[in-house]
């Protein structure tokens, strides 16, 4: 579904634009001055006309961005027109009708910076992992459309979203913002979010480019990874997202890759992003990720973000001085400006200008958006275990014990720059850290109240869990015990997978008191579960967003069928990690991603390890069967056909997954996710699917020739319900095939 490029190459556009200006009859001055407002011209032609009118200082204005919130520790106040409390601001060129860029975080909704004087209360999506766990591109698209609408309604025309770093490291504190461990799933789901966001005529980023897969020493660590392995893992996720969604901007990351900071890394920013992938937007830095002027600009950085977070305003006056001295050619400054302005035209920022910047949104919008986020949370929850069909809860259940996780007040969110402040404020204020990267936020959507609302005749009682004896006593006197466990994770630090504050002991105590115990997990990602064999049921709801309590209640009572599938593997214990230490002790800051592209389930397969719960795993309240698997060639594409039938007693959604394996080996791991679909089926209903396989998923990347290569031979295609539960298999003979690094 590659977007057709209607853009002429830059030089052609420039020539046409120049001719248009010189040959045109002398029109009225301001009409001539505004030729670039002609929407019949391409974004490149319009940008060439506009940039040709700019002074050097005006060009520099567009490549230099400010933090938009006061930073007292830097003695910094943002420019007057910045939207206080938000992420960033780049002044416009009013003389030429080029608007300012008002930038908001992030991928979960319109965020507010911790130091803001006033909080924008907006709708929070469930975490990025929850959306990925829906395996439903429509869910990602709807969520992106909604947060993009809130961004536009709030007066922002750039949203710093599209987070697609792979969950390579289970301890990464930002995994909750990302889209899982597999490049195909992550790339497609992130692309859909970006498409949804940009349907609001605003720019979305995709970030953090690249290999920013942990938070420990994020500003200095140097990622060492085989270049070909990077192309088949982290970079493939970005490539799929970028080619499907064409985001307006890519945000380069804090870390180094192959010895150079990402924001001055020619291999990443010029060779891969531009030459190989042909992407035409602009590269902005992360906030404090710029480290030079001419070097960064010549390597491909187009805009420095977040002044004053860098140690110098590199793209401020130092950039003009570098041009003046001839250290940085003016033509490069023109190109940087052109990329920003063409993107503003291409994404509609100029033709659909911001009209206002309200602090409040309409209650009607917020009510409609609460429904969007609730459905997203329901679609992304993963039923990990359900022995004896304990769930769904019976409608006539008499007594429910709700224990722990502040479930009487609300549901947990993750920390850092992506944090959305909810309507109604923090349901559990004061939890530490209250300052950056906190606050620890609970959205005021109480699972307890939602359960009570669904079943007024049921006695629903709460125990905090602080007193394990009291919790066990309540559980013993109830028909079912619901234990909520939480794991707060955040940007700027990595996490432990061990549940904190004695939660494991609490689960064990409750399970001993009542064998009908369900554990509901509100976590940033995978966690260890030493008690899993002692509980009959477990439901992973991630950080479930603004309407998380209602979503949880709907799932537990079966108003909605759980349909999520794990986008990340859950390790049994730390021995299953790809690397023991996050940073090599006493090292020089290098982190060797020796596993290469063998991330997640690929790691487990290559080491013959069995995780606690595998990638792609998830139960439903119904039952599905697969049949009629066929694999064939459709031109140069492999086509996979099969049937799915709902053989259970209730409607539900299934996610049949197809994994490919080369009979002769030669990949980073025995198998790769090749394609999937999510289907809704009524009881007895059957659906026949026909899916195409992206050839890159059958190929190996050759970094020497910069090509993808499919080796001739037999390839197996397995149809399964997870990475560890294969149902049917067919194989096919493929001819050898080689092509350049862009998709054929
Ligand atoms: C942060 C994050 C980035 C965010 C930016 C602006 O440090 O790394 O994701 O968009 O700064 O808040």
What is the per-residue pLDDT across 713-744, written as a single tens digit (0 to 9) for each? 999 999 999 999 999 999 999 999 999 986 55
286 catalytic? Reply is yes
- The three-state DSSP-derived secondary structure of 673-693 is EEEECCEEECCCCEEEEEEEE
Tokens 């949880």 map to which residue?
Answer: 552
Q: Show the tokens assigned to 383.
A: 């039923």
Give the Cα separation of 624 and 186 in Å (integer): 25
End-to-end Cα, the chain, rounded Å? 12
What average pLDDT is seen over the chain? 95
Q: What is the per-residue pLDDT across 483-509, written as a single tens digit (0 to 9) for each?
A: 999 999 999 999 999 999 999 999 999
Quick one: how far is CA 128 from the chain centroid?
5
Determine if residue 392 is left, alpha or beta; phi over 0 gives left, psi from -120 to 50 gives alpha, anything else beta.
Answer: beta
Centroid of ligand 1 to alpha carbon of 309 (angstroms) = 11
Which one, of 517, 513, 474, 512, lies nearest residue 388 by Cα? 517
Kindly give, in sequence order, each residue whose CB lies less than 8 Å from that of residue 126, ignoring residues fewer than 6 positions away. 108, 373, 376, 377, 380, 541, 542, 543, 544, 545, 548, 551
Q: To test ligand 1's pocket by mutation, which of 159, 287, 418, 419 has the most ligand atoms within 8 angstroms of CB? A: 287
Centroid of ligand 1 to alpha carbon of 307 (angstroms) = 12
Q: Dihedral sign for Cα 611, 617, 623, 627, please.
A: negative
Q: To test ligand 1's pocket by mutation, which of 89, 102, 105, 204 has the most ligand atoms within 8 angstroms of CB? A: 105
Helix, strand, coil % over all residues of the chain, rounded to 5: 30, 25, 45
Q: Whose CA is nearest to atom 7 of ligand 1?
A: 287
Ligand 1 nearest atom to the CA of residue 111, by list position: 12
- What 3-state class would DSSP assign to 18? helix
Q: Whose CA is nearest to atom 11 of ligand 1?
A: 287
Ligand 1 nearest atom to the CA of residue 113, by list position: 12
Q: To test ligand 1's pocket by mutation, which of 86, 106, 289 has the most ligand atoms within 8 angstroms of CB? A: 106
Which one, of 80, 74, 47, 46, lies nearest residue 62 by Cα? 47
List strands edge to edge, sheet with 624-634. Answer: 624-634, 637-646, 686-693
The pLDDT of residue 26 is: 43
- Using the CB atoms, write b or e for 447-478: b if 16+ within 10 Å: bbbbbbebbeebebbbbebeebeebbebbeeb
Query: What are the two backbone dihedrals, phi and then psi, of residue 733, each rounded to the nearest 5 degrees?
Result: -95, 125
Ligand 1 nearest atom to the CA of residue 208, by list position: 9
Q: Give pTM, 2 decimals.
A: 0.95
Q: Show the tokens assigned to 284.
A: 């902005």
Q: What is the per-residue pLDDT across 75-126, written as a single tens digit (0 to 9) for each?
A: 999 999 999 999 999 999 999 999 999 999 999 999 999 889 999 999 999 9
- Please answer whether residues 713 and 700 qualify as being in contact, where contact means their C-beta atoms are separated by less than 8 angstroms: no
- Please answer whether residues 109 and 122 qualify as being in contact, where contact means their C-beta atoms are separated by less than 8 angstroms: yes
Percent of the chain with pLDDT over 70: 95
Least confident stretch, 27-31, 98-102, 558-562, 699-703: 27-31
For the chain, state the CA radius of gyration.
26
Pairing of strands 282-285, 737-740: unpaired
- What 3-state class would DSSP assign to 431? coil
Residue 514 pLDDT > 60:
yes
Centroid of ligand 1 to alpha carbon of 37 (angstroms) = 32
Centroid of ligand 1 to alpha carbon of 743 (angstroms) = 30
Give the Cα separation of 145 and 286 in Å (integer): 24
Q: What is the mean pLDDT of residues 702-709?
A: 95
Centroid of ligand 1 to alpha carbon of 297 (angstroms) = 20
Q: What is the per-residue pLDDT across 603-625, written as a single tens digit (0 to 9) for each?
A: 999 999 999 999 999 999 999 99
Q: Whose CA is nearest to atom 6 of ligand 1?
A: 87
Give the Cα separation of 574 and 169 in Å (integer): 11
Centroid of ligand 1 to alpha carbon of 234 (angstroms) = 19
E strand map for 59-108? 64-68, 86-90, 101-105
Name the pLDDT band for 16 (thresholds 50, 70, 90). Answer: low
Which one, of 385, 397, 395, lies nearest residue 620 by Cα? 385
CA dist 689 to 536, 628, 660, 686, 721, Å? 34, 10, 17, 10, 15
Ligand 1 nearest atom to the CA of residue 103, by list position: 6
Centroid of ligand 1 to alpha carbon of 94 (angstroms) = 27
The pLDDT of residue 126 is: 98
The DSSP symbol for 130 reads H
288-292's contacts with Cβ under 8 Å and 24+ in sequence apart are: 288/219, 288/254, 289/219, 289/252, 289/253, 289/254, 289/261, 289/262, 289/263, 290/263, 290/264, 290/314, 290/315, 291/261, 291/263, 291/264, 292/264
The pLDDT of residue 261 is: 98
Name the pLDDT band for 32 (thresholds 50, 70, 90). Answer: low
What residues are paired with 643 via a beta bridge?
A: 627, 688
More confident residue, 28 or 281: 281
The pLDDT of residue 9 is: 60
The pLDDT of residue 19 is: 53
> Angle 337-157-283 (CA atoms, 0-180°, nearest 5)?
40
Query: What are the two backbone dihedrals, phi and then psi, of residue 257, each rounded to the nearest 5 degrees?
Result: -135, 130
Q: To test ligand 1's pocket by mutation, which of 160, 210, 254 has the most ligand atoms within 8 angstroms of CB? A: 160
Centroid of ligand 1 to alpha carbon of 387 (angstroms) = 42
Residue 660 pLDDT > 60:
yes
Kindly give, in sequence order, each residue whose CB lies less than 8 Å from that of residue 73, ignoring residues fewer than 6 positions away. none
Q: Whose CA is nearest to atom 8 of ligand 1?
A: 286
Ligand 1 nearest atom to the CA of residue 88, by list position: 6
Determine if residue 277 is left, alpha or beta; phi over 0 gives left, psi from -120 to 50 gives alpha, anything else beta.
Answer: alpha
The pLDDT of residue 2 is: 39
Among 136, 182, 246, 286, the active-site one is 286
User: Which class for 227: exposed (0-12), middle (13-18), buried (19 or more C-beta within 10 A)?
Assistant: middle
The pLDDT of residue 636 is: 84
Pairing of strands 624-634, 713-722: unpaired
Q: Whose CA is nearest to atom 3 of ligand 1?
A: 286
User: Which class for 507: exposed (0-12), middle (13-18), buried (19 or more C-beta within 10 A)?
Assistant: buried
The pLDDT of residue 4 is: 42
Ligand 1 nearest atom to the CA of residue 218, by list position: 8
Residue 422 pLDDT > 50:
yes
Ligand 1 nearest atom to the CA of residue 253, by list position: 8
Q: To test ligand 1's pocket by mutation, which of 87, 102, 156 has the most ligand atoms within 8 angstroms of CB? A: 87
Ligand 1 site residues, Cβ closer than 6 angstroms:
87, 105-106, 160, 207-208, 286-287, 417
The pLDDT of residue 584 is: 76
Q: What is the per-residue pLDDT across 433-485, written as a single tens digit (0 to 9) for each?
A: 999 999 999 999 999 999 999 999 999 999 999 999 999 999 999 999 999 99
Ligand 1 nearest atom to the CA of residue 492, by list position: 7
Q: To test ligand 1's pocket by mutation, which of 286, 437, 491, 493 has the most ligand atoms within 8 angstroms of CB? A: 286
The pLDDT of residue 723 is: 98
Centroid of ligand 1 to alpha carbon of 87 (angstroms) = 8
CA dist 401 to 172, 510, 542, 552, Å? 33, 10, 21, 15
Q: Whose CA is nearest to atom 5 of ligand 1?
A: 287
- Please answer whether residues 557 and 393 qualify as being in contact, where contact means their C-beta atoms are separated by less than 8 angstroms: yes
Centroid of ligand 1 to alpha carbon of 417 (angstroms) = 6
Centroid of ligand 1 to alpha carbon of 419 (angstroms) = 11
Kindly give, in sequence order, each residue whose CB lies less than 8 Å from that of residue 217, ignoring residues fewer than 6 positions away. 582, 583, 589
Residue 25 pLDDT > 50:
no
Q: What is the mean pLDDT of residues 235-253?
A: 98
Residue 22 pLDDT > 50:
no
- Please answer whether residues 370 and 123 qualify as being in contact, where contact means their C-beta atoms are separated by less than 8 angstroms: yes
Centroid of ligand 1 to alpha carbon of 285 (angstroms) = 9
């Amino acid at each position: 579904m590659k977007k057709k490029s209607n853009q002429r190459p830059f030089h052609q556009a420039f020539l046409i634009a120049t001719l248009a200006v010189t040959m045109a009859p002398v029109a009225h001055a301001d009409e001539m001055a505004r030729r670039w407002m002609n929407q019949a011209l391409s974004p490149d032609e319009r940008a060439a006309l506009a940039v040709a009118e700019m002074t050097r200082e005006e060009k520099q204005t567009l490549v230099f961005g400010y933090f938009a919130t006061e930073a007292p520790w830097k003695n910094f106040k943002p420019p007057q027109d910045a939207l206080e409390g938000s992420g960033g601001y780049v002044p416009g060129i009013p003389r030429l009708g080029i608007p300012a860029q008002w930038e908001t975080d992030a991928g979960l909704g319109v965020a507010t910076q911790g130091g803001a004087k006033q909080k924008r209360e907006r709708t929070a999506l469930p975490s990025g992992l929850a959306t990925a766990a829906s395996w439903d591109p429509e869910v990602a698209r709807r969520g992106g459309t909604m947060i993009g609408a809130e961004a536009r309604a709030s007066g922002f025309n750039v949203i710093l979203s599209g987070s697609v770093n792979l969950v390579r490291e289970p301890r990464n504190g930002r995994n909750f913002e990302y889209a899982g461990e597999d490049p195909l799933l992550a790339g497609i789901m992130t692309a859909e979010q970006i498409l949804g966001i940009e349907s609001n005529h605003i720019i979305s980023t995709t970030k953090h480019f690249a290999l920013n897969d942990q938070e420990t020493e994020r500003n200095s660590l140097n990622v060492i990874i085989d270049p070909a392995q990077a192309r088949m893992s982290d970079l493939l996720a970005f490539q799929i997202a970028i080619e499907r969604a064409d985001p307006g901007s890519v945000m380069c990351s804090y870390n180094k890759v192959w010895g150079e900071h990402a924001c001055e890394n020619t291999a990443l920013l010029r060779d891969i992003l531009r030459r190989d992938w042909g992407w035409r937007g602009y590269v902005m830095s992360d906030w404090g990720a710029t480290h030079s002027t001419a070097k960064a600009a010549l390597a491909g950085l187009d805009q420095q973000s977040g002044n004053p977070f860098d140690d110098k305003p590199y793209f401020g006056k130092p950039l003009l001085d570098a041009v003046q001295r001839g250290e940085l050619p003016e033509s490069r400054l023109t190109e940087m400006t052109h990329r920003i302005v063409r993107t503003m035209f291409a994404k509609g920022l100029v033709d659909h200008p911001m009209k206002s910047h309200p602090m409040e949104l309409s209650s009607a919008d917020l009510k409609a958006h609460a429904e969007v986020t609730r459905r997203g949370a329901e679609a992304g929850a993963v039923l990990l275990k359900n022995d004896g069909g304990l769930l769904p809860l019976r409608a006539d259940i008499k007594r429910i014990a709700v224990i722990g996780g502040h479930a009487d007040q609300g549901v947990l969110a993750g920390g850092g720059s992506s944090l959305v402040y909810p309507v109604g404020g923090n349901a559990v204020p004061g939890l530490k850290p209250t300052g950056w990267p906190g606050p620890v936020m609970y959205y005021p959507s109480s699972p307890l109240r939602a359960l009570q609302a669904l079943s007024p005749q049921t006695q629903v009682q709460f125990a905090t869990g602080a007193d394990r004896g009291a919790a066990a006593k309540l559980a013993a006197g109830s028909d079912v015990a619901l234990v909520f466990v939480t794991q707060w994770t955040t940007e700027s630090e990595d996490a432990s997978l061990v549940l904190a504050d004695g939660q494991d002991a609490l689960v064990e105590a409750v399970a001993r008191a009542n064998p009908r115990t369900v554990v509901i997990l509100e976590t940033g990602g995978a966690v260890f579960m030493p008690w899993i064999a002692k509980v009959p049921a477990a439901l992973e709801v991630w950080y479930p967003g603004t309407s998380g309590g209602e979503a949880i209640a709907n799932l537990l009572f079966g108003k909605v069928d759980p349909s999520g599938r794990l986008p990340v593997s859950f390790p049994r214990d730390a021995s299953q990690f790809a690397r023991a230490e996050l940073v090599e002790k006493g090292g020089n800051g290098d982190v060797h991603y020796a596993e290469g592209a063998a991330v997640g389930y690929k790691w487990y397969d290559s080491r013959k390890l069995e995780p606690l719960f595998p990638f792609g795993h998830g139960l439903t309240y119904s039952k599905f069967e697969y049949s009629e698997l066929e694999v064939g060639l459709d031109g140069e594409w492999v086509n996979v056909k099969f049937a799915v039938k709902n053989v259970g007693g209730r409607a539900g959604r299934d996610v049949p997954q197809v994994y490919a394996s080369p009979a002769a080996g030669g990949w980073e791991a025995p198998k790769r996710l090749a394609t999937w679909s999510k289907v809704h089926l009524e009881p007895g209903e059957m659906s026949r699917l026909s899916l195409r396989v992206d050839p890159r998923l059958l190929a190996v990347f050759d970094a020497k020739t910069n090509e993808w290569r499919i080796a001739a031979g037999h390839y197996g295609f397995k149809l399964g319900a997870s990475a560890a539960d294969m149902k049917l298999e067919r194989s096919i003979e493929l001819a050898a095939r080689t092509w350049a690094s862009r998709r054929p």
